[in-house]
């Protein structure tokens, strides 16, 4: 670390001792800010000067002459007069040829040409075959980069103004023309028109009421449909609930027998062990009896002791069979209880349980019989021992009796083994799988029923909600039609009253309308309430993140272009620094200049241009951190690849200008840039600056800062580790460039 500080101090001394180097450093700090400030100021409010846009107005309208009524109107000329009064667009009245030629030459941004049949088409609105009047619009898209947007944007800023003014002029003139027509009519003609109007109004009011009644009928039909849907939904719920209750009962039974498969497996294993142990025990008892009589050699005491050992072996084998019989009988009883819990005697679960119950019952009976024979053998041994102790039994006869008992026990146990191996063993194993499978099927059916019930409830609720909306809409429409019919009835009543009193002046007053009010409403019948989320005061503030980020990157490129990155041999000897120490030492100088550059850019944005900024300190923090990241990237590229690295930094800047979404949204960019978008440092720096300017949402600012910090990892990896293998290649490139004598 001390060598790094030595290198930093050496660079600081060299800069401070040389006036030229100080001037160059000041220039490097100032230049990026000029780039940002001029661009932000130039885009501050581009749409506030649309009145300087020259738009040609040419009217070729031939006017309209009435056939039945000798009246002549020229709506096109009235439209031109209205448009010329606008202070939002610089309208210039000229001829059609001059207007079109002026657009081609660039004298006008656009031209509006009113054709000769405009008034005639306009007046067809009163006929049974109306024609939509047309206005020709010419725009010069070659004028500049956004000329096509500015001219054809007569649908946003420019065109919106033209459309509103044009519609207002057209309909005010049209309404005024109708008013003039009314003034032309004499009293008798006006009275005749009023009587015809009375009849037409009556018919219209009746039609409106009929339509309203029809809509109410449809609303009633929709209401009935909702009721029917609700009843059907409740019926389905009841049916499915009953099925679900039945399934729950079956599920309870299934859960009760779910473990019986394992119980059967356990019982089968126990029986198998008990039978094998019993067979071995019978053989052991038989051998022990023979050995006892042979060893005793007529000595009763010795024979009794030996038979006592034999009885112990026999008791153990009998107890093993007894345990197996009890376990099998318990399994049988559990299966009987499970059968009682299953109501449907035709279900696969019931049939599987029934087969298992029969098989375990037969097996339990066989084991109990074998246990009884084993107990008889133990009792026989005890009897022989008592007789021998009392000298009442003959040894040979006693031996024969015990042999007979051993034979019976062996026969019964062999029969149990035969039955078990031949039939019961396979059946029990299959039944265990059948019981578990049937129990799982019951659970699956219950889950399907619940899912079906939930889906039907959701569908019924959605349909009811949609029908309720339709019913409300129909009801509201019927109410509005009734209100309109009432207004027509009121108009008819006033006209009828005026006609009855022969007051023609009152008829004129009723039929008259304020042309200006009518035109104002028709030109803009709907008001849009705009609610800005994270509002930005002006276009300059909106563009500040992009131009400030670009200026900070340009500052890093200027630094690497003017300041040598590779340390001289003298610097290394003087400071004793190794290449990695020199890397960090020179990087510190770059970071200091970069922070100065970003500070001047950001403070100028805030206090010189006075951009909008909700969180100034976060704005500064984002700019400073962006400078640290950008300088690291450009520094690592230049240190690793030399002049080629500088070119790479410029290429990266060009790509980021086009693909970072600073001027157009991501969705409007070509697919190639949409793929690159998350991997561009500009994107995350601009996002952090934009959050500080307009306002924070959640952790969006800190997420952008974290994403920006990730770019430090590859830059440090390139500068400290990957740079070494490419040093020789850089030296070769530099030698070849120097041989050209001009590069």
DSSP string of 336-371? Answer: HHHHHH---TTSHHHHHHHHHHHHHHHHHHHHHHHH
Q: Which residues sit opposite 65 in a β-bridge? A: 72
614 three-state secondary structure: coil
Exposure of 72 in the CB half-sphere (CA atoms within 13 A) = 4
CA proximity to 630, closest of 689, 561, 551: 551
Cα–Cα dist 67/69, whole Å: 6
Report the phi/psi class of residue 388: left, alpha or beta, with left for phi > 0 and alpha for psi in -120 to 50: alpha
User: Structure tokens of 339?
Assistant: 């059968």
Instruction: Kindly calculate the radius of gyration of the chain based on its CA atoms and give it in whole angstroms.
Output: 52
Residue 154 confidence (pLDDT)? 41
CA distances from 370 to 281, 312, 399, 406, 689 (A): 13, 18, 22, 12, 91
Residue 535 confidence (pLDDT)? 80
Q: What is the 3-state secondary structure (H, E, C) of 616-635?
A: HHHHHHHHHHHHHHHHHHHH
Distance of CA 572 to the CA centre of its chain: 56
Residue 622 confidence (pLDDT)? 95
Distance of CA 180 to the CA centre of its chain: 60
CB 677 within 8 A of CB 660: yes
Output phi, psi for 111, to 5 deg: -140, 140
CB 428 within 8 A of CB 261: no
CB 618 within 8 A of CB 692: yes
Q: Quick check: pTM over 0.95?
A: no
Q: Which residues sit opposite 138 in a β-bridge? A: 111
User: Structure tokens of 498?
Assistant: 């005026």
CB 637 within 8 A of CB 648: yes
Distance of CA 402 to the CA centre of its chain: 86
Cα–Cα dist 136/76, whole Å: 12
How many beta carbons lie within 10 A of that of residue 427, not counting itself?
A: 18
Cβ neighbours for 207, distance < 8 A, ≥ 6 positions apart: none
Element (H, E) at 461: helix 425-500
In the block, tokens 């009746």 appear at: 206
Cα–Cα dist 266/274, whole Å: 12
Provide the sign of the torsion angle of the four alpha carbons 370, 376, 377, 378, taken in this order. Answer: positive
CB 597 within 8 A of CB 693: no
Cα–Cα dist 549/630, whole Å: 9
Cβ neighbours for 343, distance < 8 A, ≥ 6 positions apart: 249, 250
* Residues across the chain: 743
- 183 class by beta-carbon count within 10 Å (0-12 exposed, 13-18 middle, 19+ buried): exposed
The rounded average pLDDT for each run of 10 residues, N- to C-terminus, in the chain (743 residues) is: 71 77 88 89 76 84 66 74 76 89 87 85 66 79 63 44 46 51 52 61 68 71 68 58 52 48 54 62 65 61 66 73 76 72 64 70 74 74 69 62 70 67 56 55 56 60 67 72 72 67 58 48 53 79 90 92 75 66 83 93 93 93 95 90 87 85 70 80 91 90 94 89 74 75 67
């Amino acid at each position: 670390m001390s060598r790094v500080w030595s290198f930093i101090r050496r660079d600081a001394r060299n800069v401070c001792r040389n006036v030229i180097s100080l001037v160059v450093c000041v220039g490097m700090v100032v230049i990026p800010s000029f780039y940002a400030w001029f661009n932000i100021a130039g885009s501050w409010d581009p749409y506030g000067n649309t009145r300087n846009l020259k738009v040609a107005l040419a009217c070729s309208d031939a006017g309209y002459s009435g056939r039945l009524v000798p009246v002549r109107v020229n709506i096109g000329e009235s439209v031109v007069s209205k448009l010329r009064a606008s202070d939002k667009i610089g309208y210039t009245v000229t001829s059609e040829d001059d207007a079109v030629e002026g657009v081609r030459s660039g004298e006008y941004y656009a031209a509006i040409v009113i054709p000769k049949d405009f008034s005639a088409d306009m007046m067809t609105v009163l006929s049974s075959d109306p024609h939509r009047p047309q206005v020709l619009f010419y725009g010069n898209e070659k004028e500049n980069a956004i000329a096509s947007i500015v001219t054809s944007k007569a649908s946003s800023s420019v065109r919106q103004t033209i459309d509103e003014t044009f519609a207002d002029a057209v309909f005010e003139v049209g309404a005024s023309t109708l008013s003039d027509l009314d003034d032309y009519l004499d009293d008798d003609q006006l009275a005749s028109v009023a009587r015809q109007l009375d009849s037409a109004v009556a018919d219209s009011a009746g039609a409106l009421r009929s339509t309203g009644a029809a809509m109410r009928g449809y609303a009633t039909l929709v209401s009935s449909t909702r009721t029917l849907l609700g009843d059907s939904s409740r019926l389905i719920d009841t049916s499915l609930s009953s099925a679900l209750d039945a399934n729950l009962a079956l599920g309870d039974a299934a859960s009760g027998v779910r473990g019986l498969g394992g119980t059967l497996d356990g019982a089968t294993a126990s029986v198998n062990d008990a039978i094998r142990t019993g067979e071995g025990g019978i053989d052991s008892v038989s051998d022990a009896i023979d050995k006892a009589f042979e060893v005793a050699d007529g000595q009763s005491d010795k024979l009794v002791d030996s038979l006592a050992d034999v009885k112990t072996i026999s008791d153990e084998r009998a107890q093993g069979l007894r345990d197996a019989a009890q376990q099998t009988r318990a399994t049988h009883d559990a299966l009987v209880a499970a059968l009682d819990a299953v109501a449907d005697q035709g279900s696969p679960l019931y049939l599987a349980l029934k087969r298992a119950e029969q098989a375990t019952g037969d097996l339990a009976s066989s084991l109990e019989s074998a246990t009884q024979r084993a107990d008889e053998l133990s009792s026989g041994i005890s009897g022989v021992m008592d007789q021998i102790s009392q000298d009442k039994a003959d040894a040979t006869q006693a031996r024969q009796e015990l042999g007979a008992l051993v034979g019976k026990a062996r026969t019964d146990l062999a029969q149990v083994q035969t039955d078990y191996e031949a039939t019961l063993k396979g059946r029990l194993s299959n039944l265990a799988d059948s019981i578990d499978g049937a129990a799982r099927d019951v659970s699956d059916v219950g889950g399907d029923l619940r899912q079906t019930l939930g889906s039907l409830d959701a569908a019924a609720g959605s349909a009811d909600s949609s029908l309720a909306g339709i019913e409300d809409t129909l009801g509201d429409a019927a109410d509005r039609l009734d209100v309109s019919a009432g207004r027509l009835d009121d108009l008819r009543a006033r006209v009828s009253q005026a006609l009855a009193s022969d007051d023609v002046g009152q008829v004129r007053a009723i039929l008259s309308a304020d042309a200006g009010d009518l035109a104002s409403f028709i030109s803009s019948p709907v008001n849009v309430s705009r609610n800005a989320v994270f509002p930005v005061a002006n276009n300059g503030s909106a563009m500040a993140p992009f131009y400030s980020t670009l200026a900070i990157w340009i500052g890093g490129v200027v630094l690497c272009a003017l300041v040598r990155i590779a340390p001289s041999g003298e610097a290394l000897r003087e400071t004793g620094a190794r290449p990695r120490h020199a890397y960090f030492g020179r990087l510190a100088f770059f970071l200091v200049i970069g922070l100065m550059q970003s500070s001047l850019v950001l403070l100028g944005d805030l206090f010189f241009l006075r951009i909008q900024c909700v969180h100034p300190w976060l704005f500064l923090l984002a700019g400073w951190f962006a400078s640290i990241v950008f300088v690291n990237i450009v520094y690592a590229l230049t240190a690793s690849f030399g002049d080629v690295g500088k070119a790479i930094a410029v290429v990266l800047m060009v790509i980021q200008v086009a693909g970072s979404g600073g001027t157009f949204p991501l969705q409007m960019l070509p697919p190639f840039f949409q793929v690159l978008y998350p991997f561009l440092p500009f994107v995350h720096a601009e996002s952090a600056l934009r959050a500080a300017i307009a306002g924070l949402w959640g952790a969006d600012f800190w997420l952008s800062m974290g994403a920006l910090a990730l770019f430090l990892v590859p830059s440090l990896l390139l500068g400290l580790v990957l740079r070494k293998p490419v040093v020789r290649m850089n030296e070769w490139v530099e030698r070849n460039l120097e041989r050209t004598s001009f590069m």
